[in-house]
Amino acid sequence: EQIEKGGYEHFMLKEIHEQPNAISDTYRGRMLVDKGIIRMAGVDDNMERIANAKRIIIVACGTSWHAGLVAEYIFEDIARIPVEVEYASEFRYRNPVITENDVVIAISQSGETADTMAAIKLAKEKGAFAFGVCNVVGSSISRETHAGAYTHAGPEIGVASTKAFTTQITVLTLMALKLGKFKGTISNSDFQFHLQELERIPEKVKEALKSDELIQEIADKYKDAPNCLYLGRGYNFPVALEGALKLKEISYIHAEGYPAAEMKHGPIALIDEQMPVVVIATKKGHYEKVVSNIQEIKSRKGKIIGIVTKGDEEVRDLADYVIEVPETMESLTPLLTTIPLQLLSYHIAVLLGKNVDQPRNLAKSVTVE
């Protein structure tokens, strides 16, 4: 097992650090930047069917559901197809309206999650086209779907999903770009810019990983907090949900993720000098609005940990700590902002002496209802 961990103390830490390679493995062979094309057999072979969908319904659970939420922003923005994102366990039991014009995308690292599998079977029965985004090759969901795209993240052993999340987002971004190009909803120059920027992401993830020492210091400061709030907007709202899920599942600290602007509709009541609030406040995407949310937290004496774009001064002046990530285009920020949140939950769990790779009550793949 020590050899499998490749010198890291835990699988989770190894998998966090594998993300630069995992992301490039996901786009390698698919994204031909010089030629300005994306090749994905599962999409190419079914282009008319997918591009003409009246609606895309994404079904998934847990972290994969969060990747689906990020994809909702990407698909609507780039391919102009309406998207709904559903918890597979709710979708399958509520007699959903599904038509032959729908494309249902199942996202699952393991490809074995029982609820996601059942949701796909239901969608097929109703005549929808089923597309799988799985990591495990030959898994049940990848076999049950009409077509799909693997994430190629390599084996993920830690129960807390890390590289599965970033590679799912990468595959779904490629898919949205491909559909957008086919439909003409993205300009050639924008398409090309996306490809070039996606190609730079692995290097930028490496850069983001360099904040590890600072994050250990922050983890030590807040490890005894009983609660923690995560806020983000737009593309980074699902990242806030994912950051909170990571913290609760491995450290057992109660954490909630919220869209930053929803704070004033309830969670603001929780804020006092005991409450750490992690705020994703990157330069692109409602930055000024998020800064005013930070001011509201500060005036209630909450402790602020800002995830900011490199060189940011405004949030630095307000926050207790800032963790910088490199600049990128808004739609790709989740691939960077999620990195410090993974490391933060990891270090808090280690400092608290928790079983990071196998947290209590959880299984890597949930094959029961």
151 binds ligand AGP (CB under 6 A): no
Residues 6+ apart with CB under 8 A from 44: none
Shortest spacing between CB 107 and ligand AGP, in angstroms:
7
Residue 63 binding ligand AGP, by CB under 6 A: yes
Out of 10, 15, 25, 62, the residue judged to bind ligand AGP by CB under 6 A: 62
Which one of the spans 8-16, 17-25, 29-37, 156-164 is the region binding ligand AGP (CB under 6 A)? 156-164
- The nearer residue to ligand AGP, 46 or 365, going by C-beta atoms, is 365
Taking a C-beta distance cutoff of 8 angstroms, is the pair 15, 156 a contact?
yes
Q: Which is nearer to ligand AGP, 61 or 308 (CB)?
A: 61
Please give the span between the terminal C-alpha atoms of the chain, in angstroms, as a whole number.
30
145 touching ligand AGP, by CB under 6 A = no
Question: What residues does 324 pair with on adjacent strands?
Answer: 308
In this complex, which beta carbon is closest to ligand AGP, that of residue 139 or of residue 211?
139
338 binds ligand AGP (CB under 6 A): no
Q: CB under 8 Å, gap of 24 or more: what pairs does 75-80 form?
A: 75/172, 75/175, 75/176, 75/179, 77/176, 77/331, 78/176, 78/177, 78/179, 78/180, 78/185, 78/186, 78/194, 78/331, 79/51, 79/176, 79/179, 79/180, 79/183, 79/185, 79/186, 80/180, 80/183, 80/185
Considering only 19, 161, 167, 251, the residue that binds ligand AGP (CB under 6 A) is 161
The tokens 């060189």 sit on which residue? 311
User: Shortest Cβ distance from residue 68 to ligand AGP (Å)?
Assistant: 10
Report the distance separating Cα 279 and Cα 240, nearest Å: 8
**26 lies in the binding site for ligand AGP (CB under 6 A):** no
365 forms part of the interface with ligand AGP (CB under 6 A)? yes
Q: Phi and psi for 72 in degrees, rounded to 5?
A: -55, -45
| Residue (115 or 324) nearer to ligand AGP, CB | 115
Among positions 90-119, residues that touch ligand AGP (CB under 6 A) are 108-110, 113, 116
Alpha helices in the chain (DSSP H): 11-17, 19-27, 41-44, 47-51, 62-74, 88-91, 114-125, 140-144, 163-183, 188-209, 212-222, 237-251, 287-299, 314-318, 334-351
Q: Are 74 and 331 in contact (CB under 8 A)?
A: yes
Name the one range near ligand AGP by CB under 6 A: 62-70, 178-186, 290-298, 331-339.
Answer: 62-70
- Report the residue from 249, 312, 324, 357 that binds ligand AGP according to the rule CB under 6 A: 249
Interacting residues with ligand AGP between 180 and 199 (CB under 6 A): none
Instruction: Compute how many residues bind ligand AGP; rule: CB under 6 A.
Output: 16
Q: What pairs with residue 309 in β-bridges?
A: 325
Nearer to ligand AGP, 53 or 160 (CB): 160
Find residue 278's DSSP bridge partners: 230, 305
| Min dist. Cβ of residue 13 to ligand AGP (A) | 14
354 is catalytic: no
Please say which residue, 24 or 64, places its beta carbon nearer to ligand AGP: 64
Cα within 13 Å of Cα(247), Cβ side: 28
Which amino acids are annotated catalytic? 364
Residue ranges binding ligand AGP (CB under 6 A): 61-64, 108-110, 113, 116, 159-161, 249, 362, 365-366
